[in-house]
Amino acid sequence: MGVVKLTRFLVAAAVTLGFTAALSTPADAQRVERWKMPSAFGSKLPHLGTSAVRFVKNVEEMSDGKFDIKFFEPGALVPGLECFDPVSKGSVEACWTTPGYDTGKIPAAAFFTTVPFGPAFGEFMAWKMFGGGNELRDEIYGKYNMIALDCFAIGPETSGWFRKEVNSTAELRGMKMRFFGLGARVVQKMGVSTQLLAAGDIYPALERGVIDATEFSMPTMDIALGFHQVAKYNYFPGWHQQVSVSHLLMNKDAFNKLSKQNKAILRAALGDAIMHTYVETEAKQFGAMKEMADKHGVKIRRWPDATLAAFEKAWNEVVAEESAKDPLFKKVSESYFGFRKNYKVWLDSQKLEATYLK
């Protein structure tokens, strides 16, 4: 082939390749990743549900519309408390939920969301992110073909809503109560019959007398759910949930297929959700408590120290009993309590005398 012909051939080849690239690049750039994400919490539920809506919007904006996560209300695709199997099987790519709803399959999962008489936000997240907590979670959920990333955190909760004033732990015996997580095991030792209900199912159960009392979350959410209309006594502190962390539960295959960019977008949007939701809950509860008392006639009560001590004693018994019969529970609890023991050195060094806090 002559020099002129070779030159013409190379030019034609370059033009062809350029044309092909021009056709393929826009197509690739326009590809949209689409996920279905059922939620355990309704989109209108303050903090828990609204954080999911905010997350989906953030992912859309950060990806310039190329990563579309569709939010589904509880029950629209799967029942609110039953995300585990659909995500594991890949029926849906992800679910906005809490490991506390998986304790029927994995009792130890409760440690990854909230622990009775547990730490505040900083210490709990330190254990999860840097003390081995989330590594244990990854190991556990990985066996079921799932990956989980923390999706939001909320501050301390109320201890419960009761139809009548409770003056002693003896008065708890025989009550039927909606309760979540490891705290349910504690009140069971007090003679309380517990059941786990989704947010939208609690008010009807309380109104009809199916349950006598309930805990769910914090004043802003409890008011939205209407508990104050049928139960006028709200107890504090939320010894069973001093901080609560939920997660985006994802099918492992779906997650692994994501581009590096979309994985980074997910992590960034979830990081925003954790901080935004936590500080939002901390900012709004005192106003909601005032509304409860002044507008709705709610009687705000604090458990006596003796009652809290009884709850804590029962909690220690639960840990011992569950650890004895469940090696995985024992493994996770030892990691958690081991971190807390080490953290105490730092915690105690930062304590201020009460006079400095006035």
Domains of the chain and CATH, by start: 31-156+242-283 (3.40.190.170)
Q: Is residue 10 over pLDDT 50?
A: no
The pair of structure tokens assigned to 156 is 């301390």
Question: Residue 94 and residue 148: Cα distance in Å, rounded?
Answer: 9
Mean local confidence (pLDDT), 282-309: 96
Mean local confidence (pLDDT), 330-338: 98
Q: Coil, helix or strand for 95?
A: strand
Averaged pLDDT of the chain: 92
pLDDT of residue 354: 61
Q: Where are the beta strands (DSSP E) in 89-227?
A: 94-97, 146-154, 160-162, 176-178, 193-195, 213-214
Q: Determine if the pTM surpasses 0.85.
A: yes
pLDDT of residue 352: 82
Q: Where are the beta strands (DSSP E) in 21-166?
A: 33-38, 67-72, 94-97, 146-154, 160-162
Q: Is residue 195 over pLDDT 70?
A: yes
- Structure confidence by residue, pLDDT tens digits, 47-104: 999 999 999 999 999 999 999 999 999 999 999 999 999 999 999 999 999 999 999 9
pLDDT of residue 29: 57
Q: Which residue type sits at 202?
A: I
pLDDT of residue 73: 98
pLDDT of residue 356: 52
